[in-house]
Structure 1
Amino acid sequence: MVPTPRVEPFAARLHFIPRSMRRVQAALVDSQRDYFSRAPGWVLLTTTGRRTGLPRETLLPCARSDNHIFLISTYGWQSDWIRNIRKNPKVQVTSNGVVVSGHAKMIEDLDDKTRIVSEHPFVPFAPFELVNAVALTTVTRPLLVAFLRRWVASRPVVLIRT
């Protein structure tokens, strides 16, 4: 059986944008660390650099459940944090003001990805408490879930067990 080629989202072609803004994002995270380390809908993910072995911190939108954090890569498999996790799935996450170690698992099966985003929807492009509260508790929830089910088709979903 021939494996089907992995389809990258259009955003993967735009990955040069966040790479070019790395220093700006790092300065923003450093200046607002207390907020981002506690804010609902955000997580500071620390991976191990696949080439350097150095810690790499990334600010990402997320959904949380009991002992799990769910992340979706906007830039597909081109994201550096995705590439780092593929090399070493041991990560640290700063969530709700607490730093914990975790193990990241790539979810590639489309049925599993759609099930996860259906059960744990979040607004990845606007992870703010008010936006998520409105989107998840009103008539917009089915629209959000439908969007996410389509959106994750070409993107990796990462499940982190803490």
Structure 2
Amino acid sequence: MRRVQAALVDAQRDYFSRAPGWVLLTTTGRRTGLPRETLLPCARSDNHVFLISTYGWQSDWIRNLRKNPEVKVTCNGVVVSGHAEMIEDLDDKARIVSEHPFVPFAPFEMVHAVALTAARPLLVAFLRRWVASRPVVVVRT
């Protein structure tokens, strides 16, 4: 799976690092110490990036963050350093996705525009339920 992920990152790096609601997260490998890149859907605000792990606690990037929370985030073509914090409290996770909802399944501007306006109540309800068993990560840049 790592080769598939690496090929996807390489092939789509420019688009996803600029796509609405997506970032390229660079963590440090927990065993190798090497940089590891993952494309992730997100919400952004001022000096924060909000991420949810689709695969929960088993995601390699989540396991890497547990060992070393220092990261690099590429969004809008700009690379910034940050510190990641995992949020596990259910009320805090629900508050975060209610205040900063994002579309985890489509990196297209039109989809984001509709989902974050007309469909926002449905999106927030979905996200509040979805984060119940998944970690939410706040990256402070």
TM-superposed deviation, 1:33: 2.0
**2:20/2:112 contact within 8 Å kept:** no
The aligned residue for residue 124 of structure 1 is 104
TM-superposed deviation, 1:111: 0.7
**1:45/1:59 contact within 8 Å kept:** yes
**1:62/1:127 contact within 8 Å kept:** no
| Residue from 90, 97, 118 that aligns with 1:139 | 118
TM-superposed deviation, 1:24: 2.6
Within the alignment, does 1:102 sit opposite 2:82 as a pair? yes
- CA distance in structure 2 between the partners assigned to 1:59 and 1:69 by the alignment: 13
1:49-97 per-residue CA deviation (whole Å, 9 max, x = no partner) reads 1111111111111110111000000111000000000100000011110
**2:9/2:37 contact within 8 Å kept:** no
Structure 1 stretches of at least 4 aligned residues deviating more than 3 Å after TM superposition:
none
Q: Name the stretch that deviates more: 148-157 or 119-128.
A: 119-128
Does the residue aligned with 1:32 lie in a helix, a strand or coil?
A: helix
The aligned residue for residue 161 of structure 1 is 140
TM-superposed deviation, 1:139: 3.3
Q: Which runs of 5+ in 2 are unaligned?
A: none
- CA distance in structure 2 between the partners assigned to 1:48 and 1:25 by the alignment: 16
Cα gap change, 1:116/1:27 in structure 2, threshold over 3 Å: closer, same or farther? same
**2:9/2:39 contact within 8 Å kept:** yes
Does the residue aligned with 1:62 lie in a helix, a strand or coil?
A: strand
- CA distance in structure 1 between the partners assigned to 2:6 and 2:29 by the alignment: 16
The TM-score, its normalising length taken from structure 1, stands at 0.83
Q: Name the stretch that deviates more: 28-37 or 113-122.
A: 28-37
- CA distance in structure 2 between the partners assigned to 1:92 and 1:139 by the alignment: 33
TM-superposed deviation, 1:36: 1.7
Q: Which runs of 5+ in 1 are unaligned?
A: 1-20
**1:38/1:95 contact within 8 Å kept:** yes
